A and B are shown apart, each in its own frame.
Chain A
Amino acid sequence: MKKPIAGGSARVEVLAPPRTARRGGAGAWLENERLLAAMLLTPTVLLLGLFIAYPFVMGVWLALSNTSVGNVGEFVGLRNFYKAWNDSIFRTAFWNTTWYTAWATVFKLTLGMWLALLLNRSFRGKRIVRASMLLPFIVPTVLSTFAWRWMFDPTFSVLNWLLYRGGFITTKLPFLSDGAYGMWCAIAVNTWRGMPFFAITLLAGLQTINPDLHEAASLDGANGWHRFWNVTWPLLKPVTLVVVVFSIIQTFSDFQLIYVLTGGGPANSTHLIATYAYQVGVATGLLGEGAAISLFMLPVLFVVVWLQLRYLRRLEA
Chain B
Amino acid sequence: MESKQVNRRQFLKVSGATAAVAATGIEGILAARQAPAYAQGTKLHWVRWVDFIPESDVELKRQMPEASKALGAEVTFETINANDLQPRITAAIQSGSGADIFNFQYNWAHLYQNAVVDVSDLASALGKAEGGFYEVWAPSCEVNGKWLSVPHSIVGNAVAYRKSWLKEVGFDKFPKTFEELRKAGAALKKKGKPLGQTLGHTFGDAPTFSYPLTWAYGGAETDKSGKKVVLNSKGTVDAVKFMQAAWKEAYDEGGLAWDDTNNNRAFHAGEISATLNGASIYIVAKRQKDKIKDDKGEPLWQDIDHAPLPAGPAGGFLLFLNQSHAVMKYGKNQKLAKDFLTWLHKTENYGKWFTTQEGYSVGATHKWENDPMWGKLDEPLKMFRTAARNTRLFGYAGPSTAKATEAFTKYIVTDMYAKAVQGMKAEDAVKWAEGELKKIYEG
Contacts and interface: CB of A to CB of B under 8 A. Distances in A.
Interface stretch (A40-48, A99-107, A172-180, A303-311): A172-180
Nearest to B115: A70
A70 B113 CA distance: 8
Contact of B418 (A87, A267, A280): A267
Contacts of B256: 154, 174, 176-178, 265-267
A173 to B, nearest CB: 10
Interface in B391-443: 402, 405-406, 409-411, 415, 418-419, 422, 432, 435-436, 439, 443
Nearest to B203: A283
Given A88-B435, A177-B253, A284-B405, A266 B418 contact: yes
Contacts of B213: none
A52 B122 CA distance: 44
B200 A263 contact: yes
B90 A69 contact: yes
B410 A279 contact: yes
A203 B86 CA distance: 44
Contacts of A86: 439
The winner among A175, A176, A281 for most chain B CB atoms within 10 A is: A176
Interface in A119-164: 152-156
Given A89-B410, A266-B200, A266-B257, A178 B94 contact: no
A253 interface: no
Contacts of B419: 267
Interface in A21-62: none
B269 A268 contact: no
Interface residues on A, range: 35 or more
Contact of B254 (A87, A154, A179, A267): A154
B106 to A, nearest CB: 12
The winner among A70, A172, A268 for most chain B CB atoms within 10 A is: A70
A263 B201 contact: yes
B87 A282 contact: yes
B87 A88 contact: no
The winner among A153, A262, A265 for most chain B CB atoms within 10 A is: A265
A205 interface: no
B254 A155 contact: yes
Interface residues of B, number: 43
A263 B411 CA distance: 11
Interface string B99-139: 00000000000011111000000000000000000000000
Nearest to A263: B201
Contact of A154 (B262, B402, B422, B435): B262
A279 B201 CA distance: 11
Contacts of A154: 252, 254-258, 262
A194 interface: no
A252 to B, nearest CB: 21
B57 to A, nearest CB: 22
Contacts of A175: 257
Given A70-B93, A265-B418, A266-B422, A155 B266 contact: yes
A283 B409 contact: yes
A279 B112 contact: no
A286 B94 CA distance: 12
B78 interface: no
A140 to B, nearest CB: 17
B93 A279 contact: no
Contact of A88 (B252, B402, B432, B443): B432
Interface of A: 69-71, 83, 86-89, 152-156, 172, 174-179, 182, 262-268, 279-287
Q: Which A-B residue pairs are the 6 nearest by beta carbons? A: A154-B254, A70-B115, A176-B257, A267-B418, A177-B256, A266-B256
24 contacts: A69-B93, A69-B94, A70-B94, A70-B112, A70-B113, A83-B443, A88-B435, A89-B436, A154-B254, A154-B258, A155-B254, A174-B257, A175-B257, A177-B255, A263-B201, A265-B201, A265-B418, A266-B415, A267-B256, A268-B411, A281-B90, A284-B405, A284-B406, A284-B409
Interface of B: 86-87, 89-90, 93-94, 111-115, 199-202, 252-259, 262, 265-266, 269, 271, 402, 405-406, 409-411, 415, 418-419, 422, 432, 435-436, 439, 443
Given A87-B439, A154-B254, A285-B112, 16 more contacts: A69-B111, A70-B114, A154-B262, A155-B252, A175-B257, A176-B256, A178-B256, A179-B422, A265-B411, A266-B200, A267-B419, A279-B409, A281-B90, A284-B406, A285-B86, A285-B90
